[in-house]
Amino acid sequence: MGRTLKHAVVIGASLGGLCAARVLSDAADAVTLYERDELPAGPAQRAAVPQGRHVHLLMARGAQEFESLFPGLLDDMVAAGVPILENRPDCIHFGAAGHVLGTQHRLQDEFTAYVPSRPHLEWQIRRRVLALPNVTVLRASVDEPVFDGQRVTGVRVDGATVDADLVVDATGRGTRLPVWLEQWGFQRPREDTVDVGIGYASHRLRLPEGLVAEKVVVAGASREQPLGLGMLYYEDDTWTMTTFGTGKIAPPQDFDGMVKLAAEILPAHIGDALEHAEPLGEVALHKYPTSRWRRYDKLDRFPDGIVPFGDAVASFNPTFGQGMTMTSIQAAHLRRALQEPGESLAKTFAEATAKSTYPVWTMNAIGDLTMHRAQGAMPWWYRPVGNLFDQFLGAAESDPVLAEWFLRRFSLLDSLYMVPSAKLVGRTIRHNMRAWTAERREKVRSRRSRETAASVPARSA
Ligand SMILES: Cc1cc2nc3c(=O)[nH]c(=O)nc-3n(C[C@H](O)[C@H](O)[C@H](O)COP(=O)(O)OP(=O)(O)OC[C@H]3O[C@@H](n4cnc5c(N)ncnc54)[C@H](O)[C@@H]3O)c2cc1C
């Protein structure tokens, strides 16, 4: 990519800002990345990323995208002890919407996934960005972008003005860009929201070796069970266990309560293993009330010189584990938009981001609104699609082809659209019909044998 910009500024050095800075390092002579939080020298929690204390699942697609931005990242993570898992039954326990998938059969077309903790992944990426010769990372809180009446021309930091051809807003879901737009005489973006009412409670722990072969344990919430749990085995030989509640139902708030929930909703060997767990540190709590998609793609007017990025555009229900991967996909959009900006870089980027956000946002909304007690606008077709999907997942419990298809799409591989082909829908219907017929036959058989048993003493009397 040719360097068409003199100076680009990125606000926020979390995963979004780091990815944006990496892309901009190819398009600008100089990039300055501002972060208000202290950036630790190694893999450590940061105050401004409280979500780092809770399970962070890196989707297989996210790993691929990050690797393309930072070649060698995955090998370095594995060398540093990050667990690697082929998507095999013994590595994963995966429950979604009350159905347990992929644990009984070896999947046919395995894929590789990586399980870094959030602080480790962010540090691996941060140290690569810090090593880029034309990127400077500064600890400072950006007051606001500078708008000259036509376009954004830089940022104001500690009262001083810093000029920039392009400013990327990677300040996360709490971005102030909608307010600034209004102050500059533009409209705020429409916000699509789903009130998911999620509460998180997490604890680090250590388990005696050999008790749990799985490295990823997921038990999503369902219609009947509003509480869920994720347990990931990380590079420092510890586990993080996150329990969560959906629809404003609080998860257990202490370690004993979490272990009790695990015993109820996880396979017995994991529940039993947790009886021997050594809890580490304190419980961490987090509330995530609302998934939010700011529709910059729908605005008629938008100033040149600024681009919103990462969670500042779309923040997804964290229990689906998609945020970092969707951010990495936005990085690919930003690269393309910088290469071919069309009439406006921001518009080209916003439209590409909307295109990749739509299928993932919609499927999450269907799941949340039809199964997880969320509140929000619901088109009439969400419920039938939600029911069909329930059928699909039911069949996927014992059909490895369907399970594999689901797990690949859930990992955002192959396509972002969770829409099974007609062939797979047919397979689901046949599978469920066979199961239904077998169940009915079994019921009839056991009723007959009960009747026969009841009639024997009568005859012999
Ligand atoms: C509880 C929870 C669990 C999650 N679990 C997962 C998961 O399992 N898998 C997954 O892929 N994703 C997950 N996510 C989402 C993931 O954390 C985000 O998608 C990811 O961090 C990218 O966000 P971001 O960089 O856009 O914003 P953030 O991570 O929110 O970072 C914003 C940064 O901007 C800085 N900043 C803000 N204002 C200023 C300013 N004025 N000046 C300078 N700096 C500023 C902040 O200090 C911060 O560092 C989860 C999120 C939450 C809340």
Residue-wise pLDDT for 225-250, tens only, equals 999 999 999 999 999 999 999 999 99
Measured distance CA(16)–CA(389) in Å, rounded = 31
Residue nearest atom 21 of ligand 1, based on CA coordinates: 15
Ligand 1: residues with CB < 6 A are: 11-17, 34-37, 48-49, 51, 54-57, 141-142, 170-172, 200, 286, 288, 310-312, 318, 321-325, 327
Is the pLDDT reported for residue 461 higher than 50?
no
Alpha carbon nearest to ligand 1 atom 41, residue? 142
- Which tops the pLDDT comparison, 455 or 27? 27
The amino acid that residue 94 corresponds to is F
Ligand 1 centre distance from Cα of residue 300 (Å): 28
124 class by beta-carbon count within 10 Å (0-12 exposed, 13-18 middle, 19+ buried) = buried
Nearest atom, ligand 1, residue 37 CA: 47
Mean pLDDT score of the chain: 94
Q: Which atom belonging to ligand 1 lies closest to the Cα atom of 17?
A: 25
Cβ neighbours for 185, distance < 8 A, ≥ 6 positions apart: none
Cα–Cα distance for residue pair 218/320, rounded to 1 Å: 10
Residue whose CA lies nearest to ligand 1 atom number 27: 172
CA 7 to ligand 1 center in whole angstroms: 24
Distances (CA, A) of 91 to 18, 86, 343, 349, 435: 30, 7, 48, 37, 27
Question: Distance from CA of residue 342 to its chain's centroid?
Answer: 30
Specify the ligand 1 atom closest to the Cα of 48: 47
Q: In this predicted model, what pLDDT tens digit does every residue of 322-348 receive, in sequence order?
A: 999 999 999 999 999 999 999 999 999
Q: How far apart are CA 170 and CA 213, in angstroms?
A: 38
Ligand 1 atom at minimum distance from 15 CA: 25
* pLDDT above 50 (res 377): yes
Rounded to the nearest angstrom, the distance between the alpha carbon of 49 and the centre of ligand 1 is: 6
- Over residues 36-56, mean pLDDT: 97
Mapped onto helix, strand or coil, the DSSP state of residue 160 is strand
Residue 423 has pLDDT above 60, yes or no: yes
H or E stretch covering 233 = strand 227-233
Chain centroid offset of residue 438 CA: 38
Q: Which pLDDT belongs to residue 65?
A: 97
Kindly state the tokens that stand for 357: 């956000």
Mean pLDDT over 125-137 rounds to 98
Question: Which residue's CA is minimally distant from atom 16 of ligand 1?
Answer: 323
Distance linking the first and last C-alpha atoms of the chain = 94
CA of 286 to the centre of ligand 1 (A): 13
